[in-house]
Amino acid sequence: MTARQIRLRHPGVIGSAGLALAMILTSGCAQSAGSPADTSEVTSRLKPVEVPSSETFMLTSARTGRTYQIFVAYPAIEAPDAGFPIIYMTDANIRFGAMVDITRAHARGSRGDPEAHAILVGIGYPDGMDAGVERAVDLTPALGDMPTPEGFGGAADFLHFVLEDLKPEIETRYPVNKDREALFGHSFGGLFALHTLINQPDAFDTYLVSSPSIWWGERFLHQARSRLLPRLQATGAQAKAFVSVGELEQSDTPPAAPPAGRPV
């Protein structure tokens, strides 16, 4: 595997008082009426910038053969004795730059505490792949006794990749504190984070869930949540969860399953 420093088309830096703002910033909200402004001219002028202390590499799932682009941003300081806390996140192709800004702004406000610096690991897709199509497969659970729409339902395989392929690779590359591992996801990524919490609560000790698509599969996750308490008792996990939603994103009628490729 060949690693290279991450370069993003990034117009500026996003400040933050801490990680919780990541969920607030990315929570869904009602869209205003009218056509969006044409930003193509501005985008064409943006030049890629390098993210300091970062790298990206490809990693293939041993179970499915699917290849992922892994984005990593790591602190430019000496690691504490226990290693750095680590945050795994979905949808790295579209959210990694903002999350790097947020985690590093949080660390800058820590008054020099090295344990406030975290390694950020984003899971994305190689150039040329349609991230909207690929994430629909990876981030949605199969629907049990109900038929799962084509192009969805691969969350179990994706979680296996994260735990059995990605985590060991990251732990060989970086000094990681295995007692301080978080999972962050937004929308379908939030659905995946809740799916992981319910089915394998000891996989991470913290779950950061932003605007989860709990409407998915006729609110299938509501039916599955009865598994959580027995799994907590069986594993002894003491997982912490932070869940956020936007004020205007709620609806009396949940949306139908989107066509494959539509961002959710």
Give 157-201 pLDDT, tens digit per residue: 999 999 999 999 999 999 999 999 999 999 999 999 999 999 999
Q: Which residue has the higher pLDDT, 2 or 147?
A: 147
Which whole number is the average pLDDT over 32-49?
Answer: 59
For position 16, what pLDDT does the model report?
Answer: 32
Q: Which residue has the higher pLDDT, 8 or 20?
A: 8
Task: Look at residue 253 and tell me whether its pLDDT is greater than 70.
Answer: no
Task: Look at residue 26 and tell me whether its pLDDT is greater than 80.
Answer: no
For position 257, what pLDDT does the model report?
Answer: 52
Q: What percent of the chain has pLDDT over 70?
A: 77
Write the DSSP assignment of 54-100 as a string of letters: EEEEEEE-TTT--EEEEEEE--SSPPPTT-EEEEEES-HHHHHHHHH
For position 4, what pLDDT does the model report?
Answer: 63
| Angstrom distance (rounded) from CA 84 to CA 37 | 41
Q: What percent of the chain has pLDDT over 90?
A: 55
Task: Look at residue 50 and tell me whether its pLDDT is greater than 70.
Answer: yes
Query: How many CB atoms lie under 10 A from the CB of residue 62?
Result: 10
For position 226, what pLDDT does the model report?
Answer: 78
For position 39, what pLDDT does the model report?
Answer: 59
Q: What is the pLDDT of residues 242-252, one digit of tens each?
A: 999 887 776 66
For position 27, what pLDDT does the model report?
Answer: 45
Task: Look at residue 22 and tell me whether its pLDDT is greater than 80.
Answer: no
Question: Each residue of 163-201: b (16+ CB within 10 Å) or e?
Answer: eebbbeebeebbbbbeebbbbbbbbbbbbbbbbbbbbbb
Q: The sheet that has 54-60: what strands, in order across it?
A: 54-60, 67-73, 119-124, 84-89, 176-186, 206-210, 240-244
Task: Look at residue 18 and tell me whether its pLDDT is greater than 50.
Answer: no
Residues in Cβ contact with 142 at an 8 Å cutoff, skipping those fewer than 6 apart: 148, 153, 154, 155, 156
State which amino acid sits at residue 30: A
For position 52, what pLDDT does the model report?
Answer: 85
For position 254, what pLDDT does the model report?
Answer: 55
